[in-house]
Structure 1
């Protein structure tokens, strides 16, 4: 028969209870501090003019997406008049929807070109662009253009194609007018040269404005 052990020391039990109470208080304080850390940090960042905490929210918000997508290279101090020309080398109708458009360098713009095959047969055709003055060629950037592809059109079929472009802000300051001319030709026929009269007229007009 085993003998009972010594009775627990009342002082030791009191110390254990006090220690347990202190640990509970520390745990509660740490939880409360962690819970309050976010609003405290927001208040500090706001007071100091720092907005690091909400940076990820700004990047994913629709408003921020629109702001990030804005072209910050637009030169609002300049305007360029872009004149549109169309040359149809064949029995079809081909023309721009508008004669000209005024844009800022760096601004994305769109113009529509309309085409109609008035023949009684299917045709395959493509357009080639030219620019006046010639020095504008390297600064006229087409983001979307029907001239990149060949098209097959049925008899009487009509098409409407966009030209999305942006003019490089590095365009020389003396160029205030650019003529964009398209020559639409039937694939399989001899590729026509750029319309010399249009280039000369555009160069003269640009020279008079410079």
Structure 2
């Protein structure tokens, strides 16, 4: 091997090691993401552990207000079936949100939640939420979508009111086209 080929061989080996490390890191991202979500209480990953372990604090009530807005380009009707609930920390609660596609084309949407005050967000645990998945509605279709949640008993006593707000985004352009099977003609 000539002296000019040695640096090229070293470079190729280094690049192969880098590719292998990047590949391994890609596989490690999913479990790392799950660990981070559980540790930080984000993205609804913590909800399941609270359905069984929380005891209801009947001596205390928290008012939860529900808001729904559309992003600038979203044309769907979108609203909660109720404006607010008075809930006991530790209890499982549910609110339905309604979405309707008034257009003549199928559309896909994604709801992004926010909780105020932000310091109370770690005490708000969604056990089921339409925000975890994308919603596709056909022209004129209307659906009711549940959000089930538990307010943690450890919510600071001075927090008596929370707001759960969703913003609905049109993500139709980002979704691959849906291919529907074509029926065979009598053949």
TM-score above 0.5: yes
Q: Structure 1 pair 172/118, CA: closer, same or farther in 2 (3 Å)?
A: same
Q: Deviations over 1:120-161 (max 9, x none)?
A: 111111100001100111010001000000121111110101
Which of the numbers 142, 161, 179 marks the counterpart of 1:158?
Answer: 142
Q: Alpha carbon RMSD of aligned pairs, Å?
A: 1.9
Q: Is the 8 A contact 1:111 1:163 kept in 2?
A: yes
Paired residue secondary structure (1:136)? helix
Q: Deviations over 1:96-141 (max 9, x none)?
A: 0000000000010000000000111111111000011001110100
Paired residue secondary structure (2:66)? strand
Unaligned runs of 5+ in 2: 1-50, 175-187
Q: Give 1:187 shift.
A: 1.1
Which of the numbers 95, 102, 113 marks the counterpart of 1:129?
Answer: 113
Q: Is the 8 A contact 1:75 1:169 kept in 2?
A: yes
Q: Give 1:72 shift.
A: 6.1
Unaligned runs of 5+ in 1: 1-68, 191-210
How many residues of Structure 1 are paired with residues of Structure 2 in the alignment? 122
Kindly indicate which of the two structures has a greater share of residues assigned to helix.
Answer: 1
Separation in structure 2 between the aligned mates of residue 149 and residue 106 of structure 1, nearest angstrom: 25
Q: Structure 1 pair 146/108, CA: closer, same or farther in 2 (3 Å)?
A: same
Q: Is the 8 A contact 1:71 1:107 kept in 2?
A: no
5 Å matches for 1:59-98? 73-89=55-71, 90-98=74-82
Separation in structure 2 between the aligned mates of residue 151 and residue 70 of structure 1, nearest angstrom: 28
Q: Give TM-score scaled by structure 2 length.
A: 0.62
